[in-house]
Structure 1
Amino acid sequence: MKLAHIADLHLGKRLDNFSLYEDQQHILTQIIDIALKEYCDGILIAGDVYDKSMPSAEAVRLFNDFLTKLSKTDLSVYIISGNHDSPERVDYASEMLKKADIHICAEYNGKPDIVTVSDGYGELDICLMPFVKPSTVRAYHPDAEIESYTDMMRTVIKESGIDLDRRCVMVCHQFITGSSTCDSEYAAVGTLDNIDASVFEGFDYVALGHLHSPQNVGKNARYSGTPLKYSVSEIAHKKSVTIVELKGKGEVEISTVPLTPLRDMIPLKGRYDALMSQEFYKDLDLDAFYSITLTDEDEIPYVLNKLRTVYKNIVSLNYDNIRTRTETVITGEVSTETKSPLELFSSLFTQQMGREMDEAQSEYVRNLIEEIWGNEE
């Protein structure tokens, strides 16, 4: 059995104020192509289909088109909801979709859905477990001792009826202890939502969603990561589709196939004049998304608008200079009675910028003070 594992599609998400409709449309088509070229039997989608619980019309259209294309292939599809999803919206028409071999488990009703399929090695149980919180599981299993997310998952697995001696896969959307996060992900205060990886012992493979960085967790679990870079903190990620090949019990091979975005996210760093030089940007893809760090010591007026005359899709802009590297907290009392306005301003400038004003700046401030207060220092 060969399965493609993806997660965290976040359909409808915007990058800064830029629409990702065409980017997501492009990557979804690519995912189907990869699954077919790899001769997969099915696709596991481990939650966060949408970016918001109330998805936009465009996001729903994207997902509809994706499922329609999948229904015209021989691929089986297994979908769960994530913490960003509205279970009711993801679950829409799920009974009818089963006829197209599209299996959706978006709501927890006391136990996960288990779909059993067969191949040359025998039967394989695919356990679909949507995102859930301990309070929900307690409501269905009031006699269980559930003090943590780990207790919750142990109860879910125990009450599922799944036989861990058989070949089995779990699809779930949770945070597993030891995983690494990035800025685009939510982590509960005090890591209260952590689940110990040991609870998944016995499963041949655990297809995880929730974290955007592709990574293995323990021996048998993996986050596939997002198919696109959804924040600057993901700029170094190598996005891919995870391919899982399951043979006999405990015999699992995992590989990845890289995804190529319609528009990549590219970091640039340097002085303003250098970045705006045609010689510098002539070979760059100017339709890409850019995260720009300027190293100029002085801030440039209207710099974002100026940069966008060349780099139109800027999603992040900041400075790296003496001022930004010098974290100064102004404390204590300052005697304003014994210092002139120019001296006070000069002192503030030095604390904030990490250097003294040059002659031109001093002259400008001096003239401004004279205009406001008259000739006094």
Structure 2
Amino acid sequence: MKILHLADLHIGKKINEFSMIEDQKFILKKILEIMDDVKPHAVIIAGDVYDKTVPTIEAIELLDDFIFEISKREISTFIISGNHDSAERLSFGAKVMKFGKIYISPVFDGKISKYTLSDENGKINFYLMPFLKPMNVKKFFLDEEINSYDDAARLIVKNMNIDVSQRNILIAHQFVTETSQSELEEKNVGGLDNISAEIFCDFDYVALGHIHKAYSIGEKKRIRYCGSPLKYSLSEVNVEKSVTIVEINSKDDFKTEIVSLVPLRDMQVIKGTFEEITKNSFYCDINTKNYISMTLTDENEVPNALQKLRDIYENILKLDYDNKRTQKYNKIDFEKIKKRDPFEVFSEFYELQNNQKMTAEQEEIMKNLIGEIWEVEL
């Protein structure tokens, strides 16, 4: 059985007030094209389907279109809620959607939804575990001691009654690590939400969401974060995005394939002087519609720099400076300056802030201002 693993769509996401809807429409269309090429038997969306618990109308319409396109292809699709989703809103209409082979995890009621598909190799079970906090689990297991995410996950899996003779897939949206249980007990004192990977040893594949970078856990590589389909943070500038194709023909016959995703607009970092980065020779080979973190190295601030730069680079997410003023941190001792001459105090402040002295023109301006304010002649 071939399965396409997705997660962390974050539909409706904004980055520094830039709406990602157009980018998300583009990438979801590309994912549909991958489905047409790969022809999976099932699709998994492992949480954080929306970016907000109360999604925008645009976000709802985009998800509706995406799910409709998948259902037209008659592909069984399994969706769980993540920590960014409202389980109640995401699961609205879930009973009707089952007729279109779209299965959505309901609000947690103490049990985990299980759906079974079959192929020439027998049955394969999909367990849908939405994002859960210990308190969500505890109210259904009052007699159990649940002090951590690890305790909660361990108890939930224990109550699944997994038939290990069949192929089993878990869909979850949690922070899973290779950390041992004893190490977790020490870490959880600090409130970390780690869940030990060894809890899921009875599953043939664990399709995870929550971490935006794609990577596998454990020697067998059967516990995997597929990552988000788009870059949603400047920390991901150098991260390649992809979808994961999983093929499980038998318990021993397992393989994965990574299919790269090319976005409508990439995310990148640009650094240089204002003069350098506004030359046509500098940006002629750059997609100037990309989402950009811009750093200017000019010693003096450029007036209206952001507005001027956006005439070329329209999607600047961030603008800052890297120069003598920003490279050094200086501290002011306010107790020592209370009785000192205002001009001397300001001169020192300027030098501390800018790592250079005022020009003669700037000194003259400040002397005139201080003279007017304090009514003294400098």
TM-score normalised to structure 1 length: 0.92
CA apart distance, 1:90: 0.9
SS at match of 1:125: strand
Which of 218, 225, 243 is the equivalent residue of 1:241? 243
* Conserved? CA contact 1:46–1:208, under 8 Å: yes
Residues 1:265 and 2:270 aligned together: no
Distance 1:165 1:298, change over 3 A: farther
Structure 2 residues without counterparts, runs of 5 or longer: 180-187
Partner of 2:6: 6
Moved more, 153-162 or 317-326: 317-326
Distance (Å, rounded) in 1 between the aligned partners of 2:155 and 2:344: 68
CA apart distance, 1:144: 2.3
Structure 1 residues without counterparts, runs of 5 or longer: 180-187
Moved more, 32-41 or 43-52: 32-41
* Conserved? CA contact 1:169–1:207, under 8 Å: yes
Which of 247, 256, 259 is the equivalent residue of 2:258? 256
Distance 1:336 1:143, change over 3 A: closer
Distance 1:250 1:362, change over 3 A: farther
Partner of 2:294: 292
Distance (Å, rounded) in 2 between the aligned partners of 1:96 and 1:160: 25
Partner of 1:74: 74
CA apart distance, 1:27: 0.9
Distance 1:189 1:213, change over 3 A: farther
Partner of 2:160: 160
Partner of 2:341: 340
Distance (Å, rounded) in 1 between the aligned partners of 2:329 and 2:77: 51
Distance (Å, rounded) in 2 between the aligned partners of 1:204 and 1:363: 76
Partner of 1:356: 357
Distance (Å, rounded) in 1 between the aligned partners of 2:281 and 2:225: 41
Pairs within 5 Å for 1:165-184: 165-177=165-177
Please give the root-mean-square deviation of Cα atoms over the aligned residues, in Å.
2.0
Distance (Å, rounded) in 1 between the aligned partners of 2:230 and 2:208: 17
CA apart distance, 1:325: 2.1
Pairs within 5 Å for 1:136-215: 136-177=136-177, 190-215=190-215
* Conserved? CA contact 1:167–1:250, under 8 Å: no
CA apart distance, 1:31: 1.0
Partner of 1:220: 222
Percent of paired sites with the same residue = 44
Partner of 1:305: 307
CA apart distance, 1:192: 2.5
Which amino acid is 1:68 matched to?
Answer: F
Distance 1:18 1:332, change over 3 A: closer
* Conserved? CA contact 2:178–2:198, under 8 Å: no
* Conserved? CA contact 1:146–1:152, under 8 Å: yes
* Conserved? CA contact 1:336–1:344, under 8 Å: no
Pairs within 5 Å for 1:34-45: 34-45=34-45
Residues 1:113 and 2:151 aligned together: no
* Conserved? CA contact 1:11–1:51, under 8 Å: yes
Distance (Å, rounded) in 2 between the aligned partners of 1:255 and 1:189: 38
Distance (Å, rounded) in 1 between the aligned partners of 2:3 and 2:59: 25
